Chains A and B, each alone.
Chain A
Amino acid sequence: MTQYERFFDTFFNPAVMAKYFPKIIEGLLVTCQIAVLVVVSGLLAGLALALLRSYRWAPVNLLIIFFVDMFRALPPLVLILILYFGLPNVGITLSGYVVLWLVLTCILAAFSEEIFWAGILSVDNGQWMASRSTGMSYTQTLLYVVLPQAIRLTIPPLTNRTIAITKNTALGMVIGVDELLNEATTAQAFAGNATPLMMGAIAYLVLFVPVVYLGRYIELRFAWRKA
């Protein structure tokens, strides 16, 4: 067996590919599902926190800042292990799927809150004054004048952060969520061959490359030329 053949046999074995293809697809669908749920709930929660923060109620803002700093500082894997293995001891048992979703949602909410908040702060004070001078309330100004401008500014960092966090769905493997990486490593163990891992890598590309392009498209679409 030549070097080339050995490489090919290890990573692109056709028989292994055919056998484990359905499993990889199942894992991909689970990953896709969790990723979509995390993106929707994480970004909505982050936006809600940023809006709440802009009312500048001191006790509420302290809580938000505490939440945000904690979830930005802790490694996702630590949180996942604590919730999955720790909570049953106090009588709360969550499935691996729920733990993974909850942890990634909180982390995305924390990061996106900071991004939305920075966007809201970066809108010129003159916009607030102009809107308030026409009789618009604080909330109306926030929703109709400031937020549309803030969101345009936040699209690029938000896209990057969202992709970075949804990739962490792979951590579900350590708590037995049957997502893509878990299916791939299991198949690799059964087959005694790394081909399923390569299939998993390709499946991640199939999932995330379009997301990267979608992000770029949204950035272009929402950008407007500065006067």
Chain B
Amino acid sequence: MSYEKLKVLRGINIDVRPSELVFIIGPSGSGKSTLLRCCNRLEEPDSGEIIVDGEAITAKGANLNAIRRRIGMVFQSFNLYPHLTAGGNVMLALRKVLGKPKAEARAIAEAALVRVGLADKIDNYPNQLSGGQQQRAAIARALALEPKIMLFDEPTSALDPELVGDVLNVMAELKRSGMTMVVVSHEMRFAKAAADRVVFMDGGVIVEQGAPADLFANPKQKRTRDFVGQIEQ
């Protein structure tokens, strides 16, 4: 993956096992978000192969729309559709991509919103929801499509501190239910509590990875030590 001459990612090789929660950390500009977006080809890698659930999504002629609906994605800025209610946000892809009838789509949307604790917000527009509620609605939108894997791109970075907990609780519940997750975030406490593995990236490469306890307590590389030291201050 590169922009113009700048190589954003180089020599990335990473496996995520089913039901694993992989947590990606690193300084800004290290390529974390780009790596995540390559996983559903919102960004096009220049070379290399990405395999999701046994299917090479980088293959020529891969059905991107079919692949993407099995890969849920949650964004830093929520990106809810402002002209639709929370329910409408969840229902849109159910109706247009999966072709579900309205009543069925609404039932699925209700269930997804219940799961993220927004049962009573189905008819509220995004501007009537707090940041934390918007992000949970965005998680429900992805969950409703029953993805095999969920990608989180700094899901709590745009939230006021008191709203972060609600979103992390939903993510922790997802983890307990066996969802495969890749999370780019700076929430180190969440990483220690919920992650199976932490990956440290810098300058477009994976510098170091390991279990959260190891990586945070005994980083082997100097760059990792510096970064972990900084963010833990």
Is the CB of B227 closer than 8 A to any CB of chain A?
Answer: no
User: Which residues of A have CB within 8 Å of B134?
Assistant: 227
Fill in one digit per residue for A123-162: 1 if any B CB lies within 8 Å of its CB, else 0. Answer: 0101101111111110010001100110010000000000
- Which residue of B is nearest A124, CB measured? B79
- Give the CA-CA distance A149 to B142 in the complex, in Å: 21
Is the CB of A56 closer than 8 A to any CB of chain B?
Answer: no
User: Which residues of B have CB within 8 Å of A124?
Assistant: 77, 79
User: Which residues of B have CB within 8 Å of A149?
Assistant: 81-83
Is the CB of B190 closer than 8 A to any CB of chain A?
Answer: no
- Give the CA-CA distance A133 to B83 in the complex, in Å: 18
- Given A149-B82, A224-B82: A134 and B127 interface contact (C-beta under 8 Å): no
The interface residues of chain A, by DSSP majority, are classed as: helix
A129 engages B79 (CB within 8 Å): yes
- Given A130-B138, A225-B127: A135 and B83 interface contact (C-beta under 8 Å): no
Is the CB of A226 closer than 8 A to any CB of chain B?
Answer: yes
- Given A226-B127, A227-B127: A136 and B96 interface contact (C-beta under 8 Å): yes
User: Which residues of A have CB within 8 Å of B69?
Assistant: 134-135
A136 engages B92 (CB within 8 Å): yes
- Give the CA-CA distance A225 to B65 in the complex, in Å: 32
Fill in one digit per residue for B28-53: 1 if any A CB lies within 8 Å of its CB, else 0. Answer: 00000000010010100000000000
User: Which residues of B have CB within 8 Å of A132?
Assistant: 42, 68
- Give the CA-CA distance A145 to B92 in the complex, in Å: 9
- Given A126-B75, A134-B68, A134-B93: A224 and B83 interface contact (C-beta under 8 Å): yes
A136 engages B81 (CB within 8 Å): no
Number of residues in A with C-beta < 8 Å to the partner?
22
User: Which residues of B have CB within 8 Å of A133?
Assistant: 40, 42, 68, 71-73, 142
Fill in one digit per residue for B66-101: 1 if any A CB lies within 8 Å of its CB, else 0. Answer: 111111110101011111000000001100110000
Highest count of chain A CB atoms <10 Å: which of B37, B72, B79, B134: B79
- Which residue of A is nearest B138, CB measured? A130
User: Which residues of B have CB within 8 Å of A134?
Assistant: 68-69, 92-93, 97, 141-142, 145
User: Which residues of B have CB within 8 Å of A148?
Assistant: 83
- Which residue of A is nearest B41, CB measured? A132
- Which residue of B is nearest A135, CB measured? B69
Is the CB of B126 closer than 8 A to any CB of chain A?
Answer: yes
Highest count of chain A CB atoms <10 Å: which of B73, B81, B134, B138: B81
User: Which residues of A have CB within 8 Å of B97?
Assistant: 134-136, 140
Fill in one digit per residue for B113-128: 1 if any A CB lies within 8 Å of its CB, else 0. Answer: 0000000000001110
Pick the residue among A136, A140, A152 that contacts B83 (CB under 8 A). A152
- Given A135-B65, A135-B93: A129 and B42 interface contact (C-beta under 8 Å): yes
- Give the CA-CA distance A130 to B68 in the complex, in Å: 11
- Give the CA-CA distance A133 to B42 in the complex, in Å: 7
User: Which residues of B have CB within 8 Å of A226?
Assistant: 82, 127
Residues of B near any A CB (own CB < 8 A): 37, 40, 42, 65-73, 75, 77, 79-83, 92-93, 96-97, 125-127, 129, 134, 138, 141-142, 145
Given contacts A133-B71, A144-B96, A145-B81, 18 further A-B contacts (CB under 8 A): A126-B77, A129-B75, A130-B75, A132-B42, A133-B40, A133-B72, A133-B73, A134-B142, A135-B65, A135-B66, A135-B69, A135-B97, A136-B97, A145-B92, A149-B82, A152-B83, A224-B82, A226-B127
Residues of A near any B CB (own CB < 8 A): 124, 126-127, 129-137, 140, 144-145, 148-149, 152, 224-227
Task: List 24 interface pairs A-B (beta carbons < 8 Å), by A numbering.
Answer: A131-B92, A132-B68, A133-B42, A133-B72, A133-B142, A134-B69, A134-B93, A134-B141, A134-B145, A135-B67, A135-B93, A136-B65, A137-B65, A144-B92, A145-B81, A149-B82, A152-B83, A224-B82, A225-B127, A226-B82, A226-B127, A227-B126, A227-B127, A227-B129
